[in-house]
Copies of this chain bind each other. A is one copy, B any other.
């Protein structure tokens, strides 16, 4: 079917405004690494139309790639022909249910709008990440997004009570009741969460809400080793438990870059830095005092506590600008990895010398969410310009991932697999596991029309 024929056929059940005239902007991923192609880009405005689209494509064997806010970092939403199905027009907040502490939204709702709808009802939706102003809930679910508050609230997987999914054949799987306990057969919901658009089109979700924090205290602590940072984390979790909301690690080099970029002074001098947030849902005047006392008692004296909201934001700006500050130095080869927290130091100590032995000039920017063991382990080669750096990517990845796996870690913590890492899947999942994944895929999508060549090797 030519592109023109396809668009004509789609016009039988989609309005003119639902078939995008110039689809080109939707075909390039955020990092500008991949440029896809599509015979049609569509934005249906109802679940029924998504069903009609899938029935049509199922019948005619037409490829479909679902896409939310197009902020993914692994190329999972870049199409390779067929239909690009953009969910942006399914963007309603359907309902807020305080008794069940739940919110039900369309998949195309922007994360920030969901956060705001929760706040308007006096509740917190805790998922928070850099692209929250444009990423969409469906994409967050499809790649099991993580972000800054995982230590306290878990990843997206932990926040989903129910899903509404259009299956590849156009059938609807709908379980949007806010049930906190339900054990009726195998849990299929968790197959769709993290499936990166390969099993079905997520069109709606019921999500957990939480009480809003009433008190927030922020500290920046300098330590000399990662082991000391892990020790602080363990002590803090024993003392403050779920109040410990964020626990970020920043290397001296990462801080130096961000400090210059941000025009903010370095809070303390040290080899390694921890930025932590304590939040309390019951207002408590003495939380800052308790935190200061505790840091002092435990010997973490090279620390500052934010004394105002401005100071707090400045500390977080230093953390958030690391990626941007590093971008000025050239394109980098990034790694979204996690290892058991007890082995983060071992990983960093072993991986850096191996990389330096292979690439004499390599620079390594280490930062990330130590509280949940995930690191953004970014490398760049100062002499190598622009996208030329990617010719070294396989070699750098191989070294980094070997060390990650040797430390019991994962090569994909919170960005997914997409088309960047699917060739690595057989290293981290057994043949039996991949066979089971393929059986699930074949049962739901027998013609392999949905986001083929993503996620699975």
Contacts and interface: CB of A to CB of B under 8 A. Distances in A.
A340 B169 CA distance: 30
Contact of A436 (B155, B157, B188, B242): B188
Given A186-B194, A440-B186, A179 B99 contact: no
Given A100-B340, A101-B237, A230-B99, A414 B181 contact: yes
Interface string A150-173: 110011011000000001010101
A370 to B, nearest CB: 10
Interface string A168-184: 01010100011111111
Interface stretch (A1-9, A36-44, A107-115, A424-432): A424-432
Contacts of A350: none
A128 to B, nearest CB: 14
A313 interface: no
A413 B182 contact: yes
Interface stretch (A61-69, A262-270, A404-412): A404-412
A16 interface: no
Interface in A275-320: 281-282, 290
A50 B265 CA distance: 59
Given A173-B432, A241-B281, A433-B173, A340 B416 contact: no
A224 interface: no
Given A173-B430, A191-B186, A410-B184, A158 B155 contact: no
A92 interface: no
A238 B209 CA distance: 10
Nearest to A198: B186
A395 interface: no
Interface centre among A99, A158, A242, A442, by most chain B C-beta atoms within 10 angstroms, is: A99
A239 B410 contact: no
Contacts of A193: 187
Given A180-B373, A182-B413, A210-B241, A440 B437 contact: no
Contact of A340 (B178, B189, B439, B456): B178
A347 to B, nearest CB: 12
Given A177-B409, A437-B185, A456-B185, A171 B242 contact: no
A246 B53 CA distance: 46
A181 B433 contact: no
Contacts of A186: 191, 194-195, 199, 436-437, 440
B440 A99 contact: no
A331 interface: no
B233 A99 contact: yes
Contacts of A178: 340-342, 373
Contacts of A184: 410-412, 417, 421, 425, 428-429
A398 interface: no
A126 to B, nearest CB: 11
A456 B185 CA distance: 7
A390 interface: no
A222 interface: no
24 contacts: A97-B340, A155-B180, A158-B158, A173-B432, A178-B342, A181-B413, A182-B412, A183-B417, A184-B410, A184-B411, A185-B429, A185-B437, A186-B191, A186-B437, A186-B440, A187-B193, A187-B194, A210-B241, A210-B242, A211-B241, A211-B242, A243-B282, A282-B290, A439-B443
A190 interface: yes
Contact of A281 (B240, B369, B436): B240
**CB-CB nearest 8 A-B residue pairs:** A211-B241, A190-B190, A241-B281, A439-B443, A180-B372, A99-B342, A181-B413, A177-B408
A73 B444 CA distance: 33
B99 A433 contact: no
A374 interface: yes
A175 to B, nearest CB: 9
B234 A181 contact: no
Given A188-B437, A373-B100, A437-B185, A179 B432 contact: no
A195 B187 CA distance: 8
A179 B411 CA distance: 11
A146 interface: yes
